[in-house]
Amino acid sequence: EVQLLESGGDLVQPGGSLRLSCAASRFTFSNYAFNWVRQAPGKGLEWVSAIDNSGFNTFYADSVKGRFTISRDNSKSTLFLQMNSLRAEDTAVYYCAKVSLVTSNFDYWGPGTLVTVSS
């Protein structure tokens, strides 16, 4: 069974930085594209960023463009999200999601990691 596990969530002050990781196992990580999706407390889902299987192509929501960087290490089966210049509105649970080769949709998700931006 595919496993995804996010880590790195924490309490951080506004303007600070944080790096999230998503460790993948039980499948060939390098074959798949991935996305980050976040959910503010009590709110809906917000797409954040995407990366293709090679890592060469990356995409961002306007709300995080220029502040967040998505990357991956295929040798370690790990996805990353570097978050800089954090704002209170970035407070959310962050999920990594694997993209299905069959449906092009998010077929597996991690349990999420909580990022809280507050002074």
Distance CA 97, CA 80 (A): 12
Binding-site member from 9, 47, 55, 77 for another protein (CB under 8 A): 47
> How many CA within 13 A on the CB side of residue 21?
9
Distance CA 108, CA 5 (A): 11
- Interface with another protein includes 27 (CB under 8 A)? no
- Interface with another protein includes 45 (CB under 8 A)? yes
What is the closest distance, in whole angstroms, from the C-beta atom of residue 35 to another protein in the complex?
7
Q: Which of residues 79-118 bind another protein (CB under 8 A)?
A: 95, 97, 103-107, 109-112
Burial class (CB in 10 A: 0-12, 13-18, 19+), 70: buried
Q: What angle do CA 99, 36, 71 make, to 5 degrees?
A: 90
- Of 10-18, 38-46, 66-74, 78-86, the segment contacting another protein by CB under 8 A is 38-46
Binding-site member from 8, 23, 46, 53 for another protein (CB under 8 A): 46
Residue 57 has which token pair? Answer: 């192509």
* Residues contributing to the site for another protein (CB under 8 A): 35, 37, 44-47, 50, 59, 61-62, 95, 97, 103-107, 109-112
